[in-house]
Chain A
Amino acid sequence: MNIVIPYNASFESVGLMAAFESLDEVSALGWVESQKPVFDVFDETRPDIVVLTRKHLKPTVEKLIKQYNSKVIMIDGFDCEYEKIDLTKLESATNIVQYRNGEKEDRYISDCLYLSMDEWDTLGNEHVPECLSCLIYPNSKLKLKIFGKYKFPFAEYLGNISQKGINNALSSTKIVLVFNKKILPTLAYNKCFCLVHESIGNTEYPSFSKDNIRSSINDWLHDSKTKKAIINTQYEASLKNTYLDIAKDIFIKLGYEDKAELCIKKKQELVS
């Protein structure tokens, strides 16, 4: 079964693709509109399912959907004839396929970690450089590490790492700094303790601002009891809505009960 998903390197498109890809006999293909014409995508993949957003739903695409008899699922609901999935649910899902089985490694040990993985989060969010610059040497003696594809002009930025490297870095740090709500459930699944920026709004994790970031980190570095309680509560919550659950919902809505069953089995296998 071929599934085409518009790919924009966002956390949710990567998570959904990984969930589909983890299933046997399912092949998920990321489509970058600016790089590949829609005709070629349909001609080469003959998709059984196409996941679309509002901006992708053009007359040409609709014609191709009919021509290739593909089933459609829309990820930002508006009035149309196709089945929809809830965008809020998608954005708050847990990626248990890629982010798992991290091991503590000496090379990744740090007091706090920031992952610059999301383009908007890193390049469009002014709070990120503002807060991180409070933690760089010599402003702070804290051991900060920054990994990811989006560069920061700090000595603490150490380049891009593999998925296994990310998982190990998450297991080797004491605090993960978060500026984007979408990644929180996945970090919770990895039993990370997160400090979230106040701009995110209310979460179950403690928050920080530019003014109190250093004192917040110092306080939380030494409060392991409360940290543990938060980590355990959030871990349980993170299992309720994963990208495999969303894949399951999509299959059920489109009438692929057998594939939905595969999603349930895969989730059980990964979580156990």
Chain B
Amino acid sequence: MYKEKTRIGILVDKIDASQQSFYLIKNINKICEDPFLDIIVFYKEWILPPVTPHFAVMNEKQAWSYDAPIFATSLVTAEKLLSFPVPTKKFFYIWDLEWIDLENYSYNNVYNIYCNPGLELIARSDYHKEIIEKVWNRKVHAVIEDFNHEQYSEIIRKQNIKVF
């Protein structure tokens, strides 16, 4: 008898002692207590993490051919994810409202990421969701607060990806 497992990838710039890495590892560790969820975090830069990850961690190169849904977590990773041919679904978990801090940027470049039909947007809070929808004229798919493991699990399960 085969067991069904849900697979998901998360693409981050780096795993380091930041708030993002802390929440990410802490919550994914909890999600991974469920044996039917298989999560891999793909990183570009590996610096000592604040908490020990209890899940698979791989270099971002591996995400290129990962045949499951992947969540990007920044503008840079979202742009990369859009160019990966294999992931079955692409999400952009908007951790930060990055466009506010960008210097001398072209609207079209940023618009092509936030409003790309190939990416589903997930906001970090209701406050972020309202701002994103207001300024980019695009619906946000869901809200996950600081990688909250319950909200994340719910979205992951909805993907219903089966591996035998």
The yes or no answer to B108 lying at the interface (CB within 8 A) is yes
Interface-located stretch among B30-38, B76-84, B99-107: B99-107
Number of chain B residues close to chain A: CB under 8 A:
21
Find chain B residues with CB under 8 A from A155 CB.
97, 99-100, 131, 135
In the complex, chain B residues whose CB is within 8 Å of the CB of A109: 137
B107 touches A159 (CB 8 A): yes
Cβ contact of B104, chosen from A106, A156, A160, A162, cutoff 8 A? A160
In the complex, the answer to whether B110 meets A158 with C-beta atoms within 8 Å is yes
Interface majority SS on B: helix, strand, loop or mixed? helix
Cross-interface CB contact of B111 among A107, A143, A149, cutoff 8 Å: A107
Per the 8 Å Cβ criterion, residues 134-166 of A in contact with B are 137-138, 143, 145, 147, 149, 151, 153-162, 165
Q: In the complex, are the beta carbons of A107 and B135 less than 8 A apart?
A: no
User: Across the interface, do B105 and A159 meet the contact criterion of CB distance under 8 Å?
Assistant: yes
Interface flag for B158 (CB, 8 Å): no
Interface centre among B103, B108, B110, B137 (most CB of A within 10 A): B137
The answer to whether A107 touches B115 (Cβ under 8 A) is: yes
Cβ-closest chain B residue relative to A172: B137
Interface size class of A (residues with CB under 8 A): 20 to 34
Asked if A156 and B135 sit within 8 Å, CB to CB, the answer is yes
Q: Decide: B134 and A143 in contact? CB cutoff 8 A.
A: yes
In the bound complex, CA of A159 to CA of B105 (Å): 5
Residues in B with CB closer than 8 Å to A106 are 137
Task: Give chain B's interface residues, CB within 8 Å of chain A.
Answer: 97, 99-100, 102-111, 115, 127, 130-131, 134-137
Taking Cβ atoms with an 8 Å cutoff, the residues of A that contact B are: 106-109, 137-138, 143, 145, 147, 149, 151, 153-162, 165
